[in-house]
Amino acid sequence: MATPPVIIVGASLGGLRTAESLRRFGYEGPITVIGDEPHLPYQRPPLSKAALNDAEGSLENLAFAHRPAISDVTWITGTRVVSADLDASTVTDHQGEIREFSALVVATGVRPRRLHVPGGATVGRYALRTIDDARALRDVLTPGTRVVIAGAGFIGCEVAATAIGLGCDVHVVGTTSVPMQAALGHDLGAAMQARHEDHGVAFSMGTRITAALGHPYLTHVDRADGRTLACDVLVEAVGSSPNVEWISSNDVDATRGLRTDSAMRVVRGDGSPHPHVFAVGDVASYPHPHHGIGAASVEHWNIPTETAKRAASVIAPMLADDPSHLDVAATPFTPLPSFWTDQYDTHLLAYGMTRIADRSTLLAGDLAGECLVGYYRDSRLVGVCGIGMTGQMLTYRKELMAQPLAAGTAA
């Protein structure tokens, strides 16, 4: 009987990088990637930025190039995996087809959380995660359109910048006191708000949308502070939920993403790993031994790539019956998150876990221009953000990379 394939569920960045990395680490057997979108892997970051702004072309040019090493990978798109039986080593898709795996890699990512508000409007409400979402939104961001954005995180702010550039009337409603507060802290968030306001974006912070009114076309939204905004398009950018329902009936910990050990092996409720089941990318909640914060998922650009390489470095020797995979699994895994955002002509780059900081400090420059901001937790540098100043950023990045594991926390 033929060896069953490595099955990767999720055909986006994490799935692609897992397939590539399996080949790099010497696995020569069959690989099957199953994705629910009709598309092969493509870049998501431009969906809220340049691609949304380009009436022709760029949305069609987001597909990742495929390396020759993965030319024999089987891609099954438009197919949703609805359940997994980890004891039987099988997954089942929405058409009832059951497939056996030698190893399973969960790369199903996250989906946008939606607002659950009354008001009757069903047309005019948008979320942004997929290329099809971006196409739909692009078609309605026309000059003069009144756009309300629920959520003042990166996606909300990037869409705001793009929409105002397209001539829309843009109003951001966020629950924090300044936009992007969780990632950037108060001071840099306030400075970014000022940049948006210079371009004409309005903000209502410290409140939320409580109703989306219209039958069925959206006409107004209500805010918790009692105000009503006229509105043609509501963009819901209020965070994400991990796509774990299809696997959560197994003995796994899916309370906040899918919890893994430092080898990206999905763990059981008792913390022991499933030896042949892995998770990568946005869906994976992995340990952060150098921060002492427990397991957490990190939805930043480089993490699907880093976690895919980590998983593949264990899977390839494991499937070759090479016991060294246990040694690989025991080495520390402390990838440094990196992320960036483009809003107007501001290009902001960050390293580290700025979200866990209890304090931020301007290290250099000017918050209204080029600047460097350091993020600290218990007086220890945990992240840095820069607008420009790339060379100095790299110096701080080295400091973040060089940090020892926190005492008393095992990998």
Partner 1 sequence: MINVKVDMSQCQHYGQCVLEAPSVFELNAKDRLEYVAQVADDEREAIEDAIDICPMQAISMVQ
Q: Which residues bind partner 1 (CB under 8 A)?
A: 17, 20, 24, 43, 45, 64-65, 67, 301-302, 305, 338, 340, 342, 347, 349, 388-391, 393-394, 397
The least CB distance from residue 199 to partner 1, in Å, is: 19
The least CB distance from residue 81 to partner 1, in Å, is: 25
The least CB distance from residue 308 to partner 1, in Å, is: 9
Per the CB < 8 A criterion, the answer to whether 106 and 308 are in contact is: no
Note if the bond before 112 is cis, omega within 30 degrees: no
The least CB distance from residue 14 to partner 1, in Å, is: 12
Per the CB < 8 A criterion, the answer to whether 382 and 357 are in contact is: yes
Closer CB to partner 1, residue 196 or residue 397? Answer: 397
Closer CB to partner 1, residue 255 or residue 395? Answer: 395
Closer CB to partner 1, residue 185 or residue 386? Answer: 386
Closer CB to partner 1, residue 13 or residue 329? Answer: 13
Give dist(CA 14, CA 341) in Å, integer: 20
Give dist(CA 75, CA 46) in Å, integer: 23
Closer CB to partner 1, residue 17 or residue 99? Answer: 17
C-alpha pair distances (Å), 220 with each of 28, 121, 159, 226: 56, 9, 19, 13
The least CB distance from residue 129 to partner 1, in Å, is: 18
Closer CB to partner 1, residue 17 or residue 265? Answer: 17
Closer CB to partner 1, residue 310 or residue 377? Answer: 310
Closer CB to partner 1, residue 180 or residue 393? Answer: 393
The least CB distance from residue 236 to partner 1, in Å, is: 25
Per the CB < 8 A criterion, the answer to whether 108 and 277 are in contact is: no
Closer CB to partner 1, residue 145 or residue 302? Answer: 302
The least CB distance from residue 38 to partner 1, in Å, is: 21
The least CB distance from residue 162 to partner 1, in Å, is: 16
Q: Cβ neighbours of residue 212 under 8 Å, at least 6 residues apart?
A: 115, 117, 118, 119, 120, 121, 124, 125, 218, 221, 234
The least CB distance from residue 107 to partner 1, in Å, is: 15
